[in-house]
Amino acid sequence: MPRRPNPTTASPARGTIRSEVLAFVRGRLAAGSPPTVREVQQAFGFKAVESARQHLEALVAEGRLAKSPGRSRGYRLPVGGGPELNVRLIPQLGRVQAGGLREAIEDPDHWDRTGWLAVEGPATGAEMFALTVRGESMTGAGILPGDTVIVRRQDTARDGEIVVAQVRDEATVKRLRLRDGQIVLQPENPAFAPLIFAPDTEIRILGRVVEVRRRLA
Amino acid sequence: MPRRPNPTTASPARGTIRSEVLAFVRGRLAAGSPPTVREVQQAFGFKAVESARQHLEALVAEGRLAKSPGRSRGYRLPVGGGPELNVRLIPQLGRVQAGGLREAIEDPDHWDRTGWLAVEGPATGAEMFALTVRGESMTGAGILPGDTVIVRRQDTARDGEIVVAQVRDEATVKRLRLRDGQIVLQPENPAFAPLIFAPDTEIRILGRVVEVRRRLA
DNA sequence: CAGTTAAACAGACATATGTCTGTATGTCAA
DNA sequence: TTGACATACAGACATATGTCTGTTTAACTG
């Protein structure tokens, strides 16, 4: 049968079965279901489990795959030196009316009806949610209408950070400025005026913007 | 010890441990490594495997989870009614030198050294990759230096779309304009001048920008 | 030719993991 | 109280899955 024995001159085996195995594993990982060794075996028609495992182990040895030994479906993408890939799903509250935003944020029971967004971030248990931006008040900071902002839930923020704040019954995204005991919500667009508040008035910080996303498709 | 017996009036169990289990599974799925029953057990401190399994099976019965019986790490997101989620991992080529970008894009074997980014998108097999933006030439379109653009690999694009193009040995992000048989790469910043090319010259389109991301943390 | 090597194979084994059975505990309703 | 129910626990079992050992085949080298 078609054995594929020693090419000997074998360079790092590009464009060969081995790379196809890598591509297969990549596809399965992207689809969210890491393959078992036997699934690789079947996909390539190997008659022995070990044949698939040899390719997988070789890919690990070459650094083109990573794995957790012993664990089932343990093959992963190699982490590029950086921190581990840590993806979380957060609720997308973008279409909640402003008045209900606070309840939506604080009541996880509302989340099931929303969309979900995959974000990468620290493993910390920080609550996060996503909102859709309305208006052009932050275009100067590269935040356009329709953009999605990913917000880390917190009650306070530091000067200069971009925050989501609740002003009376409305939620708004602005840059926070703390001056002379005053709270200023500063737009990043000369056509808009800053909103100035005294502490403990009808303003409340709902979270800090940690990421901005815009889909162009 | 703290048992959590029958609330009886139990509505679909929102805001309870069960929802937290669902959130945990969601996170693991988004991270690309579906959990085992025993991993759920450990995560919640259950002393019996069966406790975790009961929650998981209940979630399946409620339609909030799906699963492949018997298969290891077989719990999935429900395909139909529930919140659909289609997360893929794409290579982050942001730090590839411009000259090597084309090779990096076209040779999957170069991807190993990069990081990976989770993006949501159609299940179509469209190749995608991510780049880090340099320079301020697109600030008018809300694309700032340091932003990450997610690119769909394609050789052509339509007038008005934002593309990644290779000009001589450099990769650049610009808005594409097709005028009078000419190819124009138009910056979105008055301080920069458009680049105008004749067709089939030293310009080549590498892909179309479908998403922009910016981390503020 | 003999020796080396990479790939594939066959079979067994060890562990990981899903699943089942039975029991105990606390809350609610009759 | 009693029964029903949901939850948690303990232990066992069956299967899925990773891993190991040894053998075979084909290509290359000397």
pLDDT of residue A122: 60
Q: Which of residues 44-63 of B touch A (CB under 8 A)?
A: none
Residue A42: Cβ within 10 Å count? 12
Question: Could you say which residues of chain B have pLDDT below 50?
Answer: 1-14, 80-84, 96-99, 112, 123
pLDDT of residue B87: 63
Which amino acid appears at position A148 of this protein? Answer: T
Q: Which residue of A has its CA nearest to B121?
A: A217
Q: Which of residues 63-92 of A touch B (CB under 8 A)?
A: 63-64, 72-73, 76-78, 80, 82, 85-89
- Would you say A74 and B32 are in contact if contact means Cβ atoms under 8 Å apart? no
Phi then psi dihedrals of residue A32, to 5 deg: 90, 5
Inspect the interface and report whether the beta carbons of A80 and B162 lie closer than 8 Å: no
Annotated catalytic residue, options A33, A47, A67, A174 = A174
Which one has a higher pLDDT value, A79 or A84?
A: A79
pLDDT of residue B78: 77
How many residues in total does chain B contain? 217
Inspect the interface and report whether the beta carbons of A89 and B30 lie closer than 8 Å: yes
Question: For the range B185-190, what are the long-range contacts, defined as Cβ-Cβ under 8 Å and sequence gap of 24 or more?
Answer: B187/B137, B187/B138, B187/B140, B188/B137, B188/B138, B188/B139, B188/B140, B188/B141, B188/B143, B189/B136, B189/B137, B189/B138, B189/B139, B189/B140, B190/B140
Inspect the interface and report whether the beta carbons of A120 and B115 lie closer than 8 Å: no
pLDDT of residue B200: 77
Look up residue B179 and give its two tokens: 């005028």
User: Could you report the per-residue pLDDT of B171-217, keeping only the tens digit for each?
Assistant: 889 999 998 889 999 999 999 999 999 877 888 898 999 999 999 97
User: Which strand D nucleotides have any atom less than 7 A from protein CB atoms?
Assistant: 4-12, 15-22, 25-29
Look up residue B123 and give its two tokens: 């299940």
User: Could you report the per-residue pLDDT of A141-157, keeping only the tens digit for each?
Assistant: 999 999 999 999 898 99
Domains of chain B: 17-76 (1.10.10.10), 88-213 (2.10.109.10)
pLDDT of residue B11: 35
B42 at A interface, C-beta within 8 A? no
Please name which of A33, A168, A164, A216 lies closest in space to residue B160, comparing C-alpha atoms: A216
Q: B121 contacts in A (CB within 8 Å)?
A: 217
Inspect the interface and report whether the beta carbons of A34 and B117 lie closer than 8 Å: no
SS3 call for B58: helix
CB-count exposure of residue A44 (10 Å: 0-12, 13-18, 19+): middle
Kindly state the DSSP code that residue B213 receives in the 8-state scheme. Answer: E
